[in-house]
Amino acid sequence: MDRARLALIVIALAFAAALPWLGGPFWTGLATQMLIFGLLALSVDLLLGHAGLFSLTHASFFAVSAYTVAILQVRYGWPTIAAAPAGIVLGTLLAAVFGISVRTRGVYFILITIALGYVVWGVAHRWSSFTGGDNGVTNVPFPALGPAAITSHTQYYYVVLAAVILCGLGYRVLIRSPFGLGLRGIKASETRMQSLGYRTGLHLYAAFVLSGALASFAGVLYVYYNKFVNPVASSFPVSVEAALMAIVGGTGSIVGPFLGAAVVLGLRNWVSSFVEMHHAIMGAVFIATVLWAPQGLVGIAQRIHARLAKGRHG
């Protein structure tokens, strides 16, 4: 790794660590959201940026996991150490079922994932005796591991930061592994991969389930931050926004989805303080990205970097 990149990482980490002192509760809360939704966007991008599948159902895994944790902790009094893994397991199991959608490609895949997403939203919304309907499940406590309990949003921010860093490192290994390389091969040419001996359907299915597991983990982090979960978490706009974050930040990278989450959430917070129609602004940002910076912010950074390097050498 070159020194400039190392320096950038050290600065980013130092900034992240000092944020609660620098920014206070408002910025710390916003940063926690950016990390959680960035992780959700990262899970979407495993399929979008690496395997070439555009999923619009990731809010389902996110929400099922969040609901599982909330219901088990609030109604059944389960401890965090049991409820959080249960959330990930249930979200992942749902991904194992929804994974059948990899039998389709392109626009059919997108349509099927939208439909599946609406099924989950419908259940969350209508099965009110179990899910709490529109009100959802409230009063979720902070996570606690035996005597070690989180007591403030600042403390929880550090938990999320550590979890996200660990996920990022694991993700990095995954995308560089033979399996991850295989996904990139399938994205570029599925027919060639089949002729090289790859059972591409199974490969994509495995990626879908892994991606669902990561989205489920983001759901666990979310419910402990948010303190409640309602059908909004499972809704279509959340899935769209996660994909949008990945695209705005730059698909196929690790920092991209987090940058995208920062832009989308930051802009929404800022713009909605003076304009009612923040959705329209987000739409405009998305259109501009697709038209002028299809590689997202990471792509812009790479272009600037390349131009600077060229200027220096030539």
Rounded to the nearest 5 degrees, what angle is found at the Cα of 107, between the Cα atoms of 242 and 96? 60
Q: How far is the CB of 151 from another protein (least distance, A)?
A: 35
Separation CA 204–CA 102 (nearest Å): 7
What is the separation of C-alpha 216 from the centre of its chain, rounded to a whole number of angstroms?
Answer: 9
Q: How far is the CB of 184 from another protein (least distance, A)?
A: 6
Residue 137, beta-bridge partner list = 229
167 Cβ contact list (under 8 Å, min separation 6): 39, 42, 214, 217
Query: Site residues for another protein, window 175-214 (CB under 8 A)?
Result: 176-182, 184-185, 188-189, 191-200, 203, 206, 210
Q: Decide whether 142 or 198 has the Cβ nearer to another protein.
A: 198
Q: Which amino acid is at 16?
A: A
Is there binding between residue 105 and another protein (CB under 8 A)? Answer: no
Q: Decide whether 105 or 192 has the Cβ nearer to another protein.
A: 192
- DSSP 3-state of 137: strand
Q: Which amino acid is at 131?
A: T
Q: Decide whether 136 or 180 has the Cβ nearer to another protein.
A: 180
Is there binding between residue 268 and another protein (CB under 8 A)? Answer: no
Is there binding between residue 96 and another protein (CB under 8 A)? Answer: no
Query: What sign does the dihedral 25-141-65-238 (CA atoms) show?
Result: negative
Size of the site for another protein (CB under 8 A): 26
Is there binding between residue 303 and another protein (CB under 8 A)? Answer: no
The stretch near another protein (CB under 8 A) out of 18-26, 73-81, 115-123, 168-176 is: 168-176
Is there binding between residue 166 and another protein (CB under 8 A)? Answer: no
Cβ atoms of residues 224 and 140 within 8 Å = yes
Residues of this chain that bind another protein (CB under 8 A):
173-174, 176-182, 184-185, 188-189, 191-200, 203, 206, 210
